[in-house]
Chains A and B, each alone.
Chain A
Amino acid sequence: MSDELSRAKDATATDFADGEWHRLHRATPLFRGGLTLLIIIGVIVANFRERLIEAFIPGSSEFAPDDPFFDYIIGENLILQAAAAVLGLLLLIVAGFWLSWRFHSFRITDQVVEVRSGILFRTNRKGRLDRIQGINIVRPFIPRLFGAAKLEISVAGNDANVPLQYLTGKQADALRRDILLLASGARRDAAGGSAPAAAAGDADPSAAGADSAAIPPGTPLTLASGILDQRVNEFLAPELDPSLVEPESVVHMDPGRLIGSTVLGGPAIVFVLLTAGLITGIAMTGEVALVVGFIPAMLGIGGFLVSRITRSLRYSIAATPDGVRVGFGLLSTTNETLPPGRIHSVKVSQPLLWRPFGWWQIAVNRASRSSAQGAGGQAQTTILPVGNADDVRTVLRLLLPAGVTDDSMPMIDLGLTGSGDEGGFVPSPRRARPLRWFSVKRNATALTPELLMLRSGAIWRALTLVPYPRIQSVAVTQGPIERALRLGAIQVHTVAGPITANLGALDRDHAVSFFEHASGRAIAAAERDTSHRWGATAQSEPVAQPHENAAPDGTQ
């Protein structure tokens, strides 16, 4: 065992970011594997219950013992040995857990976050702080009951996350704050003053009130005092650290709207169609057994719908100095902080049936894939599950603070609901009608000083926004049909995700000019982009203002 290991401190302090090795929450093995063990023990006990009662209180059970193995143990008077074996096994497992906890340590230096674990097969994972794509605090239901949380540091790449599981809730909050401070490039001591111990404990119950309707305050649990009381407070607290944010989420998730949007969304319609098909099937064949075949699909979709609603019920989103914080979840909660400049593209879309209600949803492309799931089982790319136009404006302001300002808001509105060439949008020419039957006027591009906008869809409206510094490359393409109509298509490449920023059926000349402008601006923006050390810029100089004129680009 290395010296460093024995020097590793227990994770009891809240100041982890000192470059020393620390250990995780003591109950970590219990949460990670121990629950399975408890379940196994439970199953054994349940199976042998009658036996045990019979063994200790003879004649109390009417069930005749007929298990040869158990009979053998009793018959040969091996009970003591058997008990010893079971106990030994348990001790071994506990020792294994303890060892794995001993060997699992992490440290946070100014440059990297590093985790090492494993007894026989050691693993060591390092993530560079300036590559952090987000920090996620996940509280699965059972660890949450014990006040434990998992901190997941997302680094760019597929499953390139550094998980710290488990920490106490307080520690996780403090650690997130410290990591974000270090990652931001701000001076540690300079920032120390702004991060007081206020993070510790007493979450403001009034702030919680808005969101905590799910668990009424009159729960019997509150009758207990001390630790239990604190747990309950943690449980009810909003997923937002009151010292760092405006206490209220800027978007209030209305349960009616959430349920309505789910009912009118794609999966629910599939569900209804399936049910209708099933009923007609039964009516036509008279074969009630058909139900059996549909049960798995029904359960799957039903579960999806329910989880979508429960996960999004306590949705919250708020701005922090270190980026946007998005929280989801009712029983198991996740709460992710996305530092500035980590959002590679944003898509605002509106399914057809949401249109009468004016609802929209917002998804983003990010460079990291989180293992934890966001709203309704989707990967954590849905930032706003459902919201009205005001919510969309608010959330866009948070997600793209540089690009979505009062100046560009009219453009955003035009992008959401407008059509034609108003406000700097350049729509497809009339001759594109064979390719865009209804949306020829909606199908448009625009370049604002900070954002590239692709508007599409007359029936399924969508608006894709890509900030220039996040563009990886730009392509312009043309197939034979487009050539016949003198059209072209453009593709804006960002990191992989649910959004592909492509737009076809544009005027050929416009597509070429868009291609050149977009790639030129992407280069210029990437050069002056410093968001990977967002705190450093905020201190040294004001964020670079666009030097292009604020008016929508007329050159396209």
Chain B
Amino acid sequence: MTDPNTASDSPAPVSVSAAPTDARIELAIEPGEWQRVSPKYIVVDVVGWLIFGGIMTAASFTPYWIGWSLGWILPVAFGTIFLLVIAFTPRRVRAIGYALRDDDLLFRRGILFQRFVAVPYGRMQLVDISRGPVARLLGLAELKFVTAAASSGVLIPGLPLERAEQLRDHLVAVAETRRAGL
């Protein structure tokens, strides 16, 4: 899928200045309101994909080893796909954004498959902060906003730890004032 806007979009992927002819989804909020995740998260994401991609590519050698002469196609294909995924990581990470609006948390991610979620603060059931090994080395954490609906799926990765904790406390405080039932 070719994206007509890729070139012009790359300096500020989180923006509303898209031309009206653009078929992408943009919400009517100020560009400055979107907060990005730390660029260091690119490293976390790349390391994750490298490990996963490495294992998958290595595993895909199996048909070749057990004697299928055309089996080399598989690891080449896998390797290419994973390298492409990794090459787009910076772009993908820049596309992750969140905005704290008056009554809800807005979250976006994805370039090819765009997804915007709006979760009212009062719907919060709990906030989770978790840190993987690579993220911990870089001082990052990810924040998960859990509602009663499993499909809400708001997971903000690549937040500096202080920011994540501050955000969590803020969200809990705001949720407390807007407590709603289920």
Q: A interface vs B, CB < 8 Å?
A: 130-131, 133, 156, 341, 344, 367, 469-470, 472-481, 483-486, 488, 491, 493-496, 500, 508, 511-512, 515-516, 519, 522-523, 526-527, 529, 531-532
Question: Size class of B's contact patch?
Answer: 20 to 34
Residues of B within 8 A of A523 (CB): 103-104, 120, 122
Q: With A473-B149, A493-B151, A494-B149 as given contacts, are A480 and B118 in contact (CB-CB < 8 Å)?
A: no
B123 on the A face (CB < 8 A): yes
Judging by beta carbons under 8 Å apart, are A367 and B23 in contact? Answer: no
Judging by beta carbons under 8 Å apart, are B112 and A479 in contact? Answer: yes
In the bound complex, CA of A478 to CA of B24 (Å): 8
Q: With A476-B116, A519-B104, A523-B103 as given contacts, are A496 and B23 in contact (CB-CB < 8 Å)?
A: no
Judging by beta carbons under 8 Å apart, are B120 and A473 in contact? Answer: yes
Which of these binds chain A: B36-44, B135-143, B160-168, B174-182?
B174-182
In the bound complex, CA of A299 to CA of B119 (Å): 46
Select B117's contact among A156, A475, A480, beta carbons within 8 Å.
Answer: A475
Judging by beta carbons under 8 Å apart, are A472 and B148 in contact? Answer: yes
Judging by beta carbons under 8 Å apart, are A512 and B120 in contact? Answer: no
Q: With A473-B154, A495-B149, A516-B28 as given contacts, are A480 and B120 in contact (CB-CB < 8 Å)?
A: no
Could you list 13 further interchain pairs (A-B, Cβ under 8 angstroms) beyond the known A519-B104, A526-B122?
Answer: A472-B148, A472-B152, A475-B118, A478-B23, A484-B1, A488-B25, A493-B152, A496-B150, A508-B23, A508-B25, A512-B26, A523-B103, A527-B122
Judging by beta carbons under 8 Å apart, are A480 and B149 in contact? Answer: no
Q: With A341-B181, A470-B182, A526-B120 as given contacts, are A475 and B115 in contact (CB-CB < 8 Å)?
A: yes
In the bound complex, CA of A508 to CA of B24 (Å): 8
Shortest 7 CB-CB contacts between residues of A and residues of B: A480-B1, A472-B149, A493-B149, A532-B181, A519-B118, A526-B180, A486-B23
In the bound complex, CA of A519 to CA of B105 (Å): 11
Judging by beta carbons under 8 Å apart, are B151 and A531 in contact? Answer: no
Select B113's contact among A478, A493, A494, A519, beta carbons within 8 Å.
Answer: A478
In the bound complex, CA of A508 to CA of B27 (Å): 11
B108-137 CB contacts (< 8 Å) to partner A: 110, 112-120, 122-123
Question: Closest chain A residue to B118 by CB distance?
Answer: A519
Q: With A484-B1, A493-B151 as given contacts, are A476 and B25 in contact (CB-CB < 8 Å)?
A: yes
How near does chain B come to A237, taking the closest CB pair, in angstroms? 33
Judging by beta carbons under 8 Å apart, are B182 and A478 in contact? Answer: no
Judging by beta carbons under 8 Å apart, are A483 and B118 in contact? Answer: no
B1-28 CB contacts (< 8 Å) to partner A: 1, 3, 23-28
**Most B Cβ at <10 Å: residue of A473, A475, A484:** A473
Residues of A within 8 A of B60 (CB): none
Question: Closest chain B residue to A157 by CB distance?
Answer: B148
B147 on the A face (CB < 8 A): yes
**Complex A-B: 12 CB contacts under 8 Å:** A472-B123, A473-B154, A476-B116, A477-B113, A478-B113, A480-B113, A483-B24, A491-B151, A493-B151, A495-B182, A511-B25, A512-B26
Residues of A within 8 A of B112 (CB): 479-480
Select A474's contact among B113, B118, B180, beta carbons within 8 Å.
Answer: B118
Judging by beta carbons under 8 Å apart, are A515 and B118 in contact? Answer: yes
Judging by beta carbons under 8 Å apart, are A472 and B113 in contact? Answer: no
In the bound complex, CA of A200 to CA of B1 (Å): 70
Residues of B within 8 A of A515 (CB): 27, 116, 118
Select A527's contact among B26, B152, B178, beta carbons within 8 Å.
Answer: B178
Judging by beta carbons under 8 Å apart, are B28 and A500 in contact? Answer: no
Judging by beta carbons under 8 Å apart, are A519 and B151 in contact? Answer: no
How near does chain A come to B25, taking the closest CB pair, in angstroms? 5
Judging by beta carbons under 8 Å apart, are B116 and A477 in contact? Answer: yes
How near does chain A come to B114, taking the closest CB pair, in angstroms? 5
Judging by beta carbons under 8 Å apart, are A473 and B152 in contact? Answer: yes
Residues of B within 8 A of A508 (CB): 23, 25
How near does chain A come to B177, taking the closest CB pair, in angstroms? 11
Residues of A within 8 A of B25 (CB): 476-478, 488, 508, 511-512
Judging by beta carbons under 8 Å apart, are B117 and A473 in contact? Answer: yes
Residues of B within 8 A of A130 (CB): 181
Residues of A within 8 A of B113 (CB): 477-480
Q: With A476-B25, A508-B23 as given contacts, are A156 and B116 in contact (CB-CB < 8 Å)?
A: no
